[in-house]
Amino acid sequence: MEFTKSHGLRGEITVPGDKSISHRAVMFGSIAKGLTEIHNFLQGADCLSTIACFEKMGISIENRGDRVLVQGNGLHGLKKPDCVLDCGNSGTTTRLISGILCAQDFTVTLTGDESIQKRPMKRIMDPLSLMGADITSLQGNGCAPLLIKGGPVHGIHYPSKVASAQVKSAILLAGLYADSPTSVTEPYVSRNHSEIMLDLFGAQVSAEDTTATIQPASELNGAKVMVPGDISSAAYFIAAGLMVPGSQVLIRNVGINPTRDGILRVCQDMGADLQLLNRSEGAGEPTADILVRWGALHGTEIGGAIIPTLIDELPMIAAMACLAEGRTVIRDAAELKVKESNRIAVMVESLRSMGADVTETEDGMIIQGGRPLHGASIDSRGDHRIAMTFAVTALCADGATDIRGADCVTISYPRFYEDLQGLMV
């Protein structure tokens, strides 16, 4: 798919529902008792994989597009599937569902696409095994396919080496079934959508500093979930509005949970013209309209506790830094190496091909901004974040940019290109 330089973006947009929250609403609704009604559910391939997995375990799920209705069977109401559960490209599905499955009374195999079968699962296998779970990597490499033999689990306190919401959530979900409280301590606080939503469904969950704790549950109750716009999807329009000369873009109803709003803080550190309007909060998830206007940006340093709050947005931030004056340093971001692609290596290679001055480091990159960019041929590696990042970056580059594998955006944002085109002046 080919992209060329833009003369500016103008208008307003509403991005799809939050991917993390959509996944969790289906999962928690499936193991709750009664009806869960999900509004603004993300109709992306990853979240549809979660629906498919739970339908294969006997859960009735009605996908009406604007609403998803989940008829939960309770904590112990899942049925043994008659086939392997295919998680597609979704690491969230694979890791979180493992926490639920390890406490069931049946055996199941989890698999996914080629990318999932290379992504590290030992990070959830180890703590779940400490809880008594029986999980085996069938290839012996710590990746999917995973064979999970369900059984009793017990509570633990787990000091996680990584600040990962997927690791934390897998442990907390297993903790619902445990014989004593379960807690996870992280080096930094990762996104807390699971804790917020578990509370909505009636679980006893608490957080103190970087530790989250859950009590064993006898039952969860179905709930109404209003899914805010996904800030990770909004990030591309935030960046486009700031990068493309003459632009002004308003993004409506975006989730601005403090464990996810790192991109807003980084943009402000870079001198961005960015305003939050119409703030509100429902069921613990704050939202706002985000107004951005093009203007001069300058480099910044990004690392430490802010990294978990913007890990998915770092490719777009790196591209934005190429147009900012001065130096930007991204560190403590080694987690980017184990996403759908090695996003550090891919970003460095691809940005250089467009004329940027980027140096790869062990856990991030150093970007000398202010150099003009030109079109190039970009291989998305099947990574939706890479494809969307370079669709936006191409709008600021001389000449044409061709993105191979551009259709991978269906994983999280099926209408991305149409929505981007709709803002073009």
Contact 291, 242 (CB under 8 A): no
Mean pLDDT, range 222-241, rounded to an integer: 97
Q: Among 224-228, 268-272, 283-287, 319-323, whose mean pLDDT is lowest?
A: 283-287
- Report whether 385 belongs to an annotated binding site: yes
Q: How far is CA 186 from the centre of its chain?
A: 18
Neighbours of 99 (CB within 10 A): 29
At residue 284, the pLDDT reads 80
Could you say which of 86, 312, 379, 419 is catalytic? 312
CA–CA dist 132, 150 (Å, integer): 10
- Report whether 312 belongs to an annotated binding site: yes
Residues 301, 204 within the same domain: no
Contact 361, 348 (CB under 8 A): no
Residue 306 half-sphere exposure toward CB, CA atoms < 13 A: 17
Sign of CA dihedral 381, 385, 387, 393: negative
Residues 179, 39 within the same domain: yes
Residues 31, 126 within the same domain: yes
- Report whether 224 belongs to an annotated binding site: no
At residue 371, the pLDDT reads 96
Residues 253, 365 within the same domain: yes
In the DSSP assignment, the letter for residue 322 is: H
Contact 174, 131 (CB under 8 A): yes
pLDDT at 66 over 90: no
Neighbours of 266 (CB within 10 A): 23
Residues 382-415 pLDDT 10s: 999 999 999 999 999 999 999 999 999 999 999 9
312 is catalytic: yes
At residue 281, the pLDDT reads 86
Sign of CA dihedral 23, 24, 30, 31: positive
Tokens of 3: 């992209």
- Report whether 118 belongs to an annotated binding site: no
Counting the structural domains of the chain, the total is 2
Residues 242, 184 within the same domain: no
Query: Closest by alpha carbon to 1, among 410, 423, 412?
Result: 410
At residue 299, the pLDDT reads 98
pTM, to two decimals: 0.94
Residues 189, 274 within the same domain: no
- Report whether 166 belongs to an annotated binding site: yes
Residues 334-359 pLDDT 10s: 999 988 889 999 999 999 999 999 99
Residues 384, 410 within the same domain: yes
Q: How far are the Cα atoms of 38, 72, 78, 100, 203 from residue 75, in angstroms, in the given order?
A: 19, 9, 8, 9, 11
Residues 22-32 pLDDT 10s: 999 999 999 99
Tokens of 250: 């308003």
Residues 172, 245 within the same domain: no
Question: Which of these three, 200, 224, 248, is where a domain ends?
Answer: 224
pLDDT at 369 over 90: yes
pLDDT-derived band at 283, boundaries 50, 70, 90 = low
pLDDT at 282 over 80: no
Residues 202, 232 within the same domain: no
Helix (H) or strand (E) holding 129: helix 122-130
No. of helices (H) and no. of strands (E), the chain:
12, 23
CA–CA dist 38, 12 (Å, integer): 24
pLDDT at 39 over 80: yes
Contact 101, 95 (CB under 8 A): no
Which residue range is the domain that position 106 belongs to? 18-224
Residues 121, 238 within the same domain: no
Residues 292, 189 within the same domain: no
- Report whether 248 belongs to an annotated binding site: no
- Report whether 91 belongs to an annotated binding site: yes
CA–CA dist 75, 29 (Å, integer): 10
Residues 128-182 pLDDT 10s: 999 999 999 999 999 999 999 999 999 999 999 999 999 999 999 999 999 999 9
Contact 95, 166 (CB under 8 A): yes
Q: Which CATH number characterizes residue 50's domain?
A: 3.65.10.10
Residues 212, 349 within the same domain: no
Classify residue 234 as left (phi > 0), alpha (psi -120 to 50) or beta. Answer: alpha
Contact 401, 354 (CB under 8 A): yes
Helix (H) or strand (E) holding 137: strand 134-137
Question: Which of these three, 195, 224, 253, is where a domain ends?
Answer: 224
Question: Which of these three, 224, 246, 269, is where a domain ends?
Answer: 224
- Report whether 104 belongs to an annotated binding site: no
Neighbours of 355 (CB within 10 A): 15
Q: How far are the Cα atoms of 38, 55, 146, 259 from residue 196, in angstroms, in the given order?
A: 15, 24, 28, 12
- Report whether 252 belongs to an annotated binding site: no
